[in-house]
Amino acid sequence: MNQIVAIVGRPNVGKSTLFNRLIQRREAIVDSVAGVTRDRNYGKSEWNGRTFSVIDTGGYIKGSDDIFEGEIRKQVELAIDEADAIIFVTDVEEGITPMDETVASLLRKVQKPVLLAVNKVDNSMREKDAIEFYNLGLGEYYTLSSTSGSGTGDLLDALMQALPEPEVETATEDELPRFAVVGRPNAGKSSFINALIGEDRYIVTDIAGTTRDSIDTRFEKFGFKFNLVDTAGIRRKAKVKEDLEFYSVMRSVRAIEHSDICILVIDATRGFEGQDQSIFWLAEKNRKGVVILVNKWDLVEKDTMSSKQYADRIREEISPFTDVPILFVSALNKQRLLKALETAVKVYENKTQRIPTSKFNDHMLKLIEAFPPPALKGKYVKIKYCMQLPTPTPQFVFFANLPQYVKDPYKRFLENKIREQWDFEGVPIDIYIREK
């Protein structure tokens, strides 16, 4: 199971810079406008052969300076509850501030690994200044410069030692597909699940969730068999405000990583909001199948917008991955719920289908011959062979003489042609160009 590491701390200590370094991708986010970058607060990291998820809490804190403190406290409490380990970032230039002390006092009570990172230490003078951070009572600290990267290796080594060994999931003989119901709070996830399961709970057994906080419900009804991963009503915490964006994202990270297909429930009366998009991109980044359910469709004035217009608007937001089923449902009135299930099962079938290599070559090579990759610097790219890789999600490799000359637009062309010929609706596809 993938583990979650949360980066916490007050504003402007370098959390986002450290986050970028850990996920090894420079997104233009360090000084970007909030919400400009997709999934800017969540990423995958790998160290010494172990992968883990990183959440940068900084991007979720909005508001003026005077409400920062309350927001940070909330975020730290959530990170404590939901993450497997916490990196607390401080700033050597400013020394220990009252807000650092507040965060430290929360973290001292925690039964989870907490690593204290003293940032902006880029010379021996500052190395000496860092000694004062012992006063936070969190034991050993790690000095680093998230801008240059020095010191991050030591921090990660310590993190790997501190993180508990991840649980290994053992596949049972009748391993059923896992469908996670995700979405922002109050979109109707619980109503959807209750409507599906019904009062009589046909042969439904609750299996203790293999993750700490999601419950698998075995579902056997209408000829379908699967496990429903319910994130809606688990471990409600009185101290957590349900509308906290960070809370939903942390919840969704666990559920999505633990599923095959994500059923994203959105509230028709609110539209496809920023948080819905974050959850969608999380599923896409994890290469999961996706079905979008526009719930509460019965409450929308139909003369203001047709379902086609509504769906077109969502597809604009999720481009370029637009080959995703969008259904209009009402969990309350039990409208089109069976259709929603059928669609999720179909997306699972799409995700697991295998195309025979000979069939794939016959179709794709003819197309490539008719529309070859554009020549670059007078050199012509020749693709002679292609195949689907034996991976859990659809990945295709094309062997070429000059793979470096095949650019993204042509890869998109190949993807579109694959989708036209074979049904991969709801499933992300990866295209690789390799040297033959």
276 is in an annotated binding site: no
Does 10 show up as a binding residue in the annotation? Answer: yes
Residue 184 is assigned to a ligand binding site: yes
| Residue 60 known to bind ligand | yes
Task: Supply 27's token pair.
Answer: 């997104």
79 is in an annotated binding site: no
Q: Is 62 annotated as a binding residue?
A: no
The answer on whether 298 is annotated among ligand-binding residues is: yes
The whole-angstrom separation of Cα 246 and Cα 71 is 11
Q: Is 233 within any annotated ligand binding site?
A: yes
Q: What's the CA gap between 320 and 397, in Å, rounded?
A: 20
* Residue 49 known to bind ligand: no
Token pair in block for residue 254: 């666990």
Asked whether residue 171 is marked as a ligand-binding residue, the answer is no
Q: Where are the beta strands (DSSP E) in 127-185?
A: 141-143, 178-182
The answer on whether 12 is annotated among ligand-binding residues is yes
172 is in an annotated binding site: no
- Euclidean distance between the first and the last CA atom of the chain, given in angstroms as a whole number: 35
202 three-state secondary structure? coil
Query: Residue 16, annotated ligand binder?
Result: yes
Distance in angstroms (rounded) separating the CA atoms of residues 57 and 73: 11
Residue 289 marked ligand-binding: no
Is 119 flagged in the annotation as binding?
yes
Between the CA of residue 70 and those of 8, 83, 102, 260, 283, what are the distances in Å? 13, 19, 10, 36, 30
Three-state secondary-structure class, residue 358: helix
Q: Is 432 annotated as a binding residue?
A: no
234 is in an annotated binding site: yes
Neighbour order of strands in the sheet with 215-221:
206-207, 215-221, 224-230, 178-182, 261-267, 289-295, 326-328
**Residue 96, number of CB atoms within 10 A of its CB:** 16
Is 121 among the annotated ligand-binding positions?
yes
Residue 150 annotated as part of some ligand binding site:
no
Asked if residue 185 belongs to a known ligand binding site, the reply is yes
The verdict on whether residue 213 carries a ligand-binding annotation is: no
**117 appears as a binding residue in the annotation:** no
Residue 188, marked binder = yes
297 is in an annotated binding site: yes
Vertex 256 angle, CA 250 and 262, to 5°: 130
Query: Is 232 labelled a binding residue?
Result: yes
Mind giving me the DSSP string for 250-298? HHHHHHHHT-SEEEEEEETTT-S-HHHHHHHHHHHHTT-EEEEEEE-GG
Spatial CA neighbour of 344 closest among 262, 252, 287: 262
372 known ligand binder: no
430 assigned ligand-binding residue: no
Token readout for 347 is: 């997306």
14 is an annotated ligand-binding site residue: yes
The reply to whether 255 sits in an annotated binding site is no
3-state SS assignment for residue 216: strand
378 is in an annotated binding site: no
**Cα separation of 336 and 402, whole Å?**
49
- In the annotated binding site for GTP, the residues are 9-16, 56-60, 119-122, 183-190, 230-234, 295-298
- In the annotated binding site, the residues are 9-16, 56-60, 119-122, 183-190, 230-234, 295-298
